[in-house]
Amino acid sequence: MKIIRSIKEMKEISTNIKAKGDTIGFVPTMGYLHEGHAALIDVCRKETDIVIVSIFVNPLQFGPNEDFDRYPRDEERDRRIAERHRADYLFLPTVEEMYPEKASLSINVVDRTDVLCGRTRQGHFDGVVTVLAKLFHLTNSDVAYFGLKDAQQVAVVKALVDDLNFSVKIRPIPTVREADGLAKSSRNVYLSPEERMEASHLYKSLQIGQQLLIDGVKNTGIIINEVRKYLKNHTNGSIDYVEILSFPELKEISTINQPVILAVAVNFAKARLIDNILINGHGVIVSDPFQS
């Protein structure tokens, strides 16, 4: 595995790879890799010729009161994990490399962002699509792999690719979970032992909502109330939201007759955890919402 730190070298390498006719798979991350990231790399390894993993903690997607400086970083650990999972290239640019000067333009996301995490994180997804637009160009990727734990991000990135006619295909991968159902996340390290036990109830609350739909409950208000009640009774965290929206459009609906996202977010003392499931109108899990 080769480590790349400069934009110039990344562009040269990806251009040469494409000139040879090889397909490029790309896994963009913010580092502190865990089993969820590893799963993305593993699928990428199976489906494409060359695997590029990027690690970049993007300041543009952090608000003024968010945890950019506190976000966990461990380059050596990340390098070992990427190499173990057979990445070909690890792109590790600095902030100065990615943003050497003040930008002359910005990308503003105008849809799919006023719900879920986007409601309280103004400008977050503008930062996400800005850095991904750069990374898609630099890596020349044919396929980009994203975990469905952050399904709103996946929906926004799909809109970026569709609206601006990027040639990269977005490949969503199901959430990787701990044995008790907790979604893998770099922020899980901030949980106290008591909070860690409570955190498993996020996924259990989603399963309760799913079962209601399987049992024939189509009314979103009823399902949301039951999920919220379960979270309130089983965690001491502050519930940020419980929402059911069409997917990937992320529009409010009152009756479930189509693929939807059931999503929750809970604030603990030092970590804000999110989780979701994508299900169809009958409550069956949707593993790839973009599969034709």
* 3-state SS assignment for residue 155: helix
CA–CA dist 170, 79 (Å, integer): 24
Would you say 18 is a known binding-site residue?
A: no
Residues noted as catalytic: 37
Would you say 121 is a known binding-site residue?
A: no
Would you say 35 is a known binding-site residue?
A: yes
The token duo for 188 is 């899980």
Would you say 10 is a known binding-site residue?
A: no
* Greatest C-alpha distance within the chain: 58
Which region holds residue 143: left if phi is over 0, alpha if psi is between -120 and 50, else beta? Answer: beta
Phi then psi for residue 125, to 5 deg, are -75, -20
Would you say 157 is a known binding-site residue?
A: no
Would you say 138 is a known binding-site residue?
A: no
Do the Cβ atoms of 230 and 204 come closer than 8 Å?
A: yes
Residue linked to tokens 């079962």: 211
Would you say 12 is a known binding-site residue?
A: no
Would you say 209 is a known binding-site residue?
A: no
Task: Give the residue numbers of the binding site.
Answer: 30-37, 61, 147-150, 153, 176, 184-187
Task: Give the residue numbers of the binding site for (R)-pantoate.
Answer: 61, 153
Task: Give the residue numbers of the binding site for ATP.
Answer: 30-37, 147-150, 176, 184-187
Task: Give the residue numbers of the binding site for beta-alanine.
Answer: 61
